[in-house]
Amino acid sequence: MSATSAFLNIFRLPDLRKRIFITLALLFVYRIGFHIPLPGTNVLVLKGLEDQIAGNDVLGLMNVLSGGSLQLPVLFSLGILPYISASIIFSLLVKVIPRLEQLSKEGPAGQRKINQLTRLATVPLCIIQGAILCITVFKGQKGEVFGQNVQDFMVPLLNGDGFFGNFGAGVMMVLGLTAGTLFIMWLGEQITEYGIGNGASLIIMAGIIAALPGAAQRIVGDAVEDRGRILVIAALILCYIGVVLAVVMITKGQRRIPIQQAKLMKGRRMYGGAKHYLPLRVNMANVMPVIFASSLLMFPNLFWRMVSSNGEPLLSPGGFWYITLEIGLIFFFSFFWTSMMFQPAEMANNLKEGGSFVPGIRPGRRTAEYLERIMVRITLVGAAFLAVIAIIPTIVTGWLNVDFMTASFLGGTGILIVVGVALDLVDKLNAQLLQRNYDGFMSASSAKRGARSGGR
Are 267 and 359 part of one and the same domain? yes
Q: Residue 277 domain-assigned? A: yes
CB 64 within 8 A of CB 79: no
Q: Residue 22 domain-assigned? A: no
Going by pLDDT thresholds of 50, 70 and 90, the confidence category of residue 331 is very high
DSSP letters along 205-263, please? HHHHHHHHHHHHHHHHHHHHH-GGGHHHHHHHHHHHHHHHHHHHHHHH-EEEEEEEEPE
Are 243 and 166 part of one and the same domain? no
CB 277 within 8 A of CB 453: yes
Going by pLDDT thresholds of 50, 70 and 90, the confidence category of residue 360 is confident
Q: Where are the alpha helices (DSSP H) in 98-229?
A: 98-104, 108-138, 167-194, 199-225
Among residues 195, 222, 256, the one where a domain terminates is 195
191 class by beta-carbon count within 10 Å (0-12 exposed, 13-18 middle, 19+ buried) = buried
Going by pLDDT thresholds of 50, 70 and 90, the confidence category of residue 157 is very low
pLDDT tens string 395-409? 777 676 766 666 666
Q: Residue 333 domain-assigned? A: yes
Are 48 and 145 part of one and the same domain? yes
Q: Residue 251 domain-assigned? A: yes
Containing structural domain, residue 312: 1-12+212-456
Are 168 and 105 part of one and the same domain? yes
CATH number at residue 267: 1.10.3370.10
Mean confidence (pLDDT) of the chain: 75
Q: What is the largest CA-CA distance in the chain?
A: 96
- Please state which of the ranges 164-178, 180-194, 341-355 shows the lowest mean pLDDT: 164-178
pLDDT tens string 248-292? 888 888 888 888 877 766 666 766 667 788 888 888 887 778 877
**Sequence-distant (≥ 6) Cβ neighbours of residue 52 within 8 angstroms:** 137
Q: Residue 87 domain-assigned? A: yes
Q: Residue 26 domain-assigned? A: no
Q: Residue 221 domain-assigned? A: yes
Are 370 and 311 part of one and the same domain? yes
Q: What is the pLDDT of residue 134?
A: 73
Distance in angstroms (rounded) separating the CA atoms of residues 179 and 116: 17
Going by pLDDT thresholds of 50, 70 and 90, the confidence category of residue 150 is very low
Strands 263-266 and 269-272: antiparallel
Are 228 and 340 part of one and the same domain? yes
Are 107 and 165 part of one and the same domain? yes
| 337: nearest Cα among 390, 385, 286 | 286
Q: Residue 143 domain-assigned? A: yes
Q: What is the pLDDT of residue 404?
A: 66
CB 187 within 8 A of CB 199: yes
Q: How many domains does the chain have?
A: 2
Strands 356-357 and 269-272: unpaired
Distance in angstroms (rounded) separating the CA atoms of residues 14 and 302: 47
pLDDT tens string 54-63? 555 555 566 6
Among residues 126, 160, 195, the one where a domain terminates is 195
- Report how far Cα 254 is from the mean position of its chain's Cα atoms: 21
| 84: nearest Cα among 293, 315, 252, 241 | 293
Are 374 and 335 part of one and the same domain? yes
Compute CA distances 63 → 58, 86, 197, 404, 420, whole Å. Answer: 9, 18, 22, 13, 18
Are 323 and 181 part of one and the same domain? no
Going by pLDDT thresholds of 50, 70 and 90, the confidence category of residue 314 is low
Are 170 and 42 part of one and the same domain? yes
At 277 the three-state DSSP class reads strand
Are 300 and 420 part of one and the same domain? yes
Among residues 195, 229, 245, the one where a domain terminates is 195
Whether pLDDT at 375 is above 60 = yes
Q: What is the pLDDT of residue 107?
A: 78
The pTM of the full predicted model, rounded to 2 decimals, is 0.76
Are 446 and 340 part of one and the same domain? yes
